[in-house]
Structure 1
Amino acid sequence: MFTSPLADHPAVVAAARIADDVLAPHAAAADDPARGVDPAHLAQLADARLLSVTVPEAEGGYGASARVDAEAVELLSGACTATWFVTTQHNTPQALARGTQGLPPEAVTHGPAAARHRAGLADASTTAGIAIAHIRRPGPPAVRTERDGTGWRFSGSADWCTGWGLIDLVMIAAATADDRFVLALVPARDQPGLRAGPPLPLSVMGGTRTVALEMDGLAVGADDVLAVLDAPPWRVVDAARTANTKPAALGLLRRVLVGLAELGTARNRPEAVDTALALAPRAVELRAEAYALMDVPMAERVPERVAVRAELGELTVRAAHALIAARAGSALLTTSPEQRWAREAAFHLIQGQTAGVRAAQLAAFGHP
């Protein structure tokens, strides 16, 4: 149903092995807030260089293409979305430290923390999370910063930070009065001026240790500044980037359609197989379109990217619910993966969602 010419790449081979042998058997536990993502699994992924697929070999990665990385992400997220979600937080601090953040050079001023943490972030011997979703919201800044000598003071609330207690560092974004973002990279632990709330009661991926952060005059020394960004160009790049379909979402769709066909075969329910085969061609077509668009310069063909992302989201929700119908009542047992996959399909709708993406998703649901 889904084939790839990249299946023999060492990163993809490693991802397939860990996905099948380690992550998939633990996926239900990783979703459960009482158990959660296993730190040992995160370490295995880092040791296998799967947090550093595109990083040059000299810096501890595979030196592979973004397409190889996407293939690995599809496999990992399809096996365990919760574990993948903790690891994907690492990407942004890693890219910023290495100067590969996709912003115009004149819009970024790197701070001392970039050089200090570059090597550890590159090979993931140091892991990082992020608290930046709030800077996408319109209105007054949720986290503000002001100069304090050579450093900064952060105050406000960051609603989302994933991996608390599992990561070494956290990158926090704060807005200045002159429309810039200061990105601090500080130890991911409670400290004077920084307090993490309890894990949020999420309906999906409850074991990711996602918390809100409260800052009350958090002192950020000059050495802890990862970068200072001009906000207007960041918003343009972010809007274009979030228009893209996420490989992780494709990994879930892939897993669900394969599961639907397998269930139909195992339980002698040919209508389930027929449904999988009916949905698969459009899924394969949209997946190819999504990856083709990722090869186009980021600022181009944004409406097409949004439309593809929206249709794939609707298709994933539909496929996940078809699998529940095929499995019947037992699909809603907490021990069954089908109900978890349906919840994960909902998550992929809202991850990195902007107003434009939301409008396109609603249009896709209204006109499937």
Structure 2
Amino acid sequence: MTSPVAVARGLAAAVLAPAAAEVDRSGVLPRGHLDALADAGLYGLIGPAHAGGLGADLGTFAAVVEELAAGDLAAAFVWLQHHGVVGRVAAAGSDPGLLAGLCRGRVRAGIALQAATRPDAAPVTVRRDVSDLVLDGAAPWVTGWGLLDLLLVAARDGDDVAFVLVDAVEGPTLAVLPQSLVAVQASATVELRLTGHRVPSARLVGRTPLAAVRAGDAAGLRLNGSLALGLVLRCTRLLGPSPLDDDLGAARARLDAAGPGELPDARAEAAALAHRASGALVVATGSAAVRAGSVAERTAREALFLLVFGSRPAIRASLRARLGAAG
């Protein structure tokens, strides 16, 4: 059986990378790219075997993220969000049909999670009204709009965070505002606005104390680091043998070994390395790198994006120190 990492590498080389410049230029991610990932079983990468998933471990998951990001960051970015929903629905164990659909990629999902826990923004909230859950608030960064069937929304309910599945369909109580991004515009990232939005109470798939969600936040940073390492991987393949090869291995090993307290700094190291690797690719490419649409130009913008994507205060502080801006 071909490993998921080899499958991802093949799809990235045959499908994602050849179209990446046009995807970036048009700002449109072809649904067929995501169909190819689903047909290969990658939408069920971490799903349980009984639901049609591959049951991959974290190391395999991280390696697949790298390969897909090396091919096309926008596609990897949209695909990655889906797995947060697979994991939450699998843990709930209450809807085997939905879980099977998610694992096979027949149902595609995204996440709207951070607005419930960020201390610097009004959270999305949820309340119960008879047999419905009612959601209010805004989530500023929701990826994959128009390519998704469901969203997993994290909403505050007193001292708890409720995880609620919402149909990804605009209407009177659910609106989206497109975000204009310097890179991965094809990720179709929007701001989600909910105003008295009702869903059946059966759409609740979990509830966790807010303190526990915040305490566990760092543990979820590992995979976002693989997006940055995917850019480094792209650069090393285009540049040929160089010291970046060893730097990539070291950054990957550090992310793999880091505990929750060490992950923010390891994440910062990965993002800073992507920034440096993209700079090396620009220099090696020469003046052609300043032409819009070149691989080097696109990679440099994507590295800029990853300096701030999924950031936290500890990551930002580490990056400032690494880039010489601490003080």
TM-score by length of 2: 0.92
Deviations 1:139-164 (A, max 9, x none): 45332222211322111111111111
Q: Aligned equivalents of 1:164 and 1:215: distance in 2?
A: 15
Pair 1:165 & 2:130 matched: no
Pair 1:358 & 2:323 matched: no
Pair 1:191 & 2:171 matched: yes
CA shift in 2, pair 1:175/1:247, >3 Å? same
Aligned with 1:82 (options 74, 79, 91): 74
Quote the residue 2:10 is aligned against: 17
Pair 1:210 & 2:196 matched: no
Q: Structure 2 stretches of 5 or more lacking a match?
A: none
Q: Aligned equivalents of 2:146 and 2:220: distance in 1?
A: 28
User: What is the aligned-residue identity percentage?
Assistant: 33
Q: Aligned equivalents of 2:269 and 2:47: distance in 1?
A: 31
SS of corresponding position for 2:147 = coil
Q: Aligned equivalents of 1:150 and 1:258: distance in 2?
A: 55
Aligned with 1:175 (options 146, 151, 156): 156
CA shift in 2, pair 1:243/1:64, >3 Å? closer
SS of corresponding position for 1:70 = helix
Q: Aligned equivalents of 2:270 and 2:225: distance in 1?
A: 10
Quote the residue 2:179 is aligned against: 200
SS of corresponding position for 1:170 = strand
C-alpha displacement of 1:281:
2.1
C-alpha displacement of 1:244:
6.6
Moved more, 148-157 or 56-65: 56-65
| Number of equivalent positions | 326
Q: Is the 8 A contact 1:244 1:309 kept in 2?
A: no
Quote the residue 1:260 is aligned against: 239
Q: Aligned equivalents of 2:62 and 2:76: distance in 1?
A: 12
Runs of 4 or more, structure 1, over 4 Å off, are: none
Letter in 2 for 1:232: A
Q: CA RMSD in A?
A: 2.2
C-alpha displacement of 1:184:
1.8
Deviations 1:289-347 (A, max 9, x none): 22233xxxxxxx33433322222222221121121122122112122011111111122
Pair 1:45 & 2:10 matched: no
Aligned with 1:119 (options 94, 100, 103): 100
Pair 1:286 & 2:286 matched: no
Quote the residue 2:214 is aligned against: 235
Quote the residue 2:275 is aligned against: 317
Q: Aligned equivalents of 1:245 and 1:132: distance in 2?
A: 14
Q: Aligned equivalents of 1:239 and 1:68: distance in 2?
A: 20
SS of corresponding position for 2:170 = coil
Larger Rg: 1
Letter in 2 for 1:193: T
Deviations 1:257-304 (A, max 9, x none): 22123xxxxxxxxxxxxxx623332322222222233xxxxxxx3343
Deviations 1:53-88 (A, max 9, x none): 232333222233221222222111100000011111
